[in-house]
Structure 1
């Protein structure tokens, strides 16, 4: 095998490992972000929510949010100029709540409650992870969006 072939083989192997690590990381992140949504939905729907449904909602929700935000930004910028682009956030948020509404077969207010409670739970879980990491590894870099606590 020539040196060039070895370099190509090594580059392909490194690329494959990177892609596999990315896919595994995204799946783990998807599952982790589904847990607060599931807990929130379980509380708001009085135990009717299933974890598979939470996984589905957390997979579809951001995609719907992104599409609605992108399309409404283009439409609003074309019609009314950049001053009304802030409305795109509102439209996208309503679309995200609609995903919760239809995904968990509930009303608009309960869907909003799921979204709010899931966000609160996500922040609490992030704070717990931050504190646990600071206890376990005091000099570890901050990896969560929660400000560092003095422990």
Structure 2
């Protein structure tokens, strides 16, 4: 009896577990800037678990609103550039709505959380990139900053 089929199944299982583990780590890492921004904007009321929920729900709602509004507008209007612009705006408003509901705040604070989370994400990414380039000089530059 050959062990090859069992080993192939085990490799597939390990790959699937690695994918799930990697996505979970990525989800946690992406939630950190949202949590920091929400903590600042809501004056400490935000919880990390709520930031994770918002981080998961936001892109889902964005995608649904974008694709549905694109389809509906294309059926009724037909002009592609206008449709994409309106669909993007509607999807962005829906995403901010997720922040509003998720952090129990107003529209302006939800927008502030989204903007601040983007800034925090960029700063963290830059720090990680510069740190990697300092530790591992062969790391390819993924930011517009020169390597050290």
What TM-score, normalized by structure 1, do the two folds share? Answer: 0.92
1:130–1:148 CA contact under 8 A, matched in 2? no
CA root-mean-square deviation: 1.2
Q: Which residue pairs with 2:25 in the alignment?
A: 28
Q: Which residue pairs with 2:92 in the alignment?
A: 93
**Where does structure 2 lack aligned partners over 5 or more consecutive residues?**
none
Q: Which residue pairs with 2:111 in the alignment?
A: 112
Runs of 4+ in 1 over 2 A off after TM superposition: 146-150
1:131–1:149 CA contact under 8 A, matched in 2? no
3-state SS of paired residue (1:48): coil
3-state SS of paired residue (2:43): coil
What are the within-5 Å matches in structure 2 for residues 37-116 of structure 1? 37-81=34-78, 82-83=80-81, 84-116=83-115
Is 1:122 aligned to 2:121, yes or no?
yes
Report the CA distance between 1:149 and its aligned residue.
2.7
Report the CA distance between 1:89 and its aligned residue.
0.8
Is 1:19 aligned to 2:28, yes or no?
no
- Tell me: CA distance 1:133–1:44, structure 2 relative to 1, closer, same or farther (3 Å): same
Residue-pair matches, total: 146
